[in-house]
Structure 1
Amino acid sequence: MRRMLFEKKGTAIWMSHLDTMRLMQRAFRRAGVLLHHSQGYTPHAYVSMLLPLSVGVESECEIMEYELDAELTITPQEMNAVLPEGVRVLNVYESARKGKELTHLRAQLKLHYDHEAPCAIEIEELLSKTELIVEKRTKRGVDNVDIRPLVKEVRITAAQNEIILDCIVCAQNPSLNPMLLPSAIERYLPTHRADFVTCCRMEIYDAQGEIFR
C-alpha cells in the first residue's frame, strides 16, 4: 500500500476531513499524476486517511493511503508545489502494515490563560486518578463516560501563562479525542479552566509503542 505522510497546520486545521480529501485529490491532478479509480457508474479515487483529524487540531503525522494508475510515482516536492500553506508532505513510501495496527497517538495540548496559569500540581493529581467522567457526544446523544482507561500517559509542564499536557491516548477501538482532557479539567477543577486550548497530534504508535508508518 502506498502511503503519504503529511502535516496540517496554520489555517489548514479548519479544513474538515472531507475538504482535506478533496484537497489532496486536486493536488494529485495539479501535479499531473492520476489516482487509480474504481470501476462502475460512480467511480471513486482509491484514497483514504488512516486516522481522520478533528477540525481545529494540528498534526505532524497525518497518513493517507492511495493508489496510482500504472507505474506512476509522486514525490513530496511535486505535491508541496501545488498544496496550500499549512499542508506539507513529509514523505511518500510503501508499507505492508495494516491500519488496524495503529493503536495509540501522542498529542500535545496547550492550555492558554489570559493571566497567570493555575497550579499544575492540582491538574497532575486530577489526571492521575483512576476515574475521569466527562460528557461525550455519541450517536445516541450525550453520555457520561470514563475516559481514564483510554489515557496511557500524561506529562505536564507549566509556564507563566500556559500549561502543556503531553499525552498518549488510545487511537482506535476505542478511541479518545485528546480534547476531552481539558473538558475533564474544566469539570473537576472549574478554576483551572483554560481561556483557550490548542492541540497538535505529534505521533502515532502501534501496540508495542513503536512509531507506526
Structure 2
Amino acid sequence: MRERRRLRLGVLVLVSLVLLGAVPLYFGLRALSHDPVFDTLDGLDVPAWAAVNTVDHVSGSRWCLEECRLRERTVESQRAPKETAQAYEQALAGDGWQRWKNARCPEQPVEGSYTCWRRDELTLDLWVREPTCVPPPVDGQPAPTPAPGPAAEKCAKSLVSVKVRNAIDDERTGPQPTTDPSLTGVDPYSTPTDDPLGELTASPS
C-alpha cells in the first residue's frame, strides 16, 4: 500500500511539474513568435474595405542583434488611394501616432501618398498608391475602366504599404552629416593647387 501511495504521489508531482512548466513555456514561445506591433496595426480603426488581403513580413532581430526588426505589411483597399490614405491617417492619429515631417520622407519621389509617423520608440511609413493593375493615363486622359469580369474584380482600387521600425535603427531620427567647413573645421571639397606641397614657409635666418 505504501509503495502504491508513493507511486501515485510521484505521478501527481510529475504531472503537476509538467503542467506548471508547459503553460509558461507555451505563452513564452507564443510571445517570441508573435510581434506585438502587428497587434497594434490590427487594432487600427480602419474600415473593412481598407484592410483586404493583409500580408505581413518580418526581418531582423527583436533585440537589435546585428540588425533591428523591420515589420512590413501590405494591404489591398477597395476604394481610391485618396480615400484610403485619409482612412489610415485618421486611424493612426486616433491611435496616438504623431505625424512626422522629415526631409527624407520618402527617400525618393514616389507616386501616391507617402507619410511618416512616430509613436514611442517606433517609426512608421505609410504609402498608399494605385496598384500596378491600373493602367497609367494616356495623353493626360485616365485609362478606361477594366471591363467587368473576374480580372477586374481581382484588381484592388489601391494598395497600402506599412513599414514599422525601431526609432534607434531609423537613420532619419539622428543628426544628418554636414559638409560645412565652419562646423567640421575641414573643407571636404577643397580646391587642389598645382603644387602638391603647397607654399613652403620660410625658415628663420
- Fold shared by both chains (TM-score > 0.5): no
TM-score by length of structure 1 reads 0.22
Q: Which has the higher strand share?
A: 1
Larger Rg: 2
Q: TM-score, normalised by structure 2?
A: 0.23
- Name the one with the larger helix percent: 2
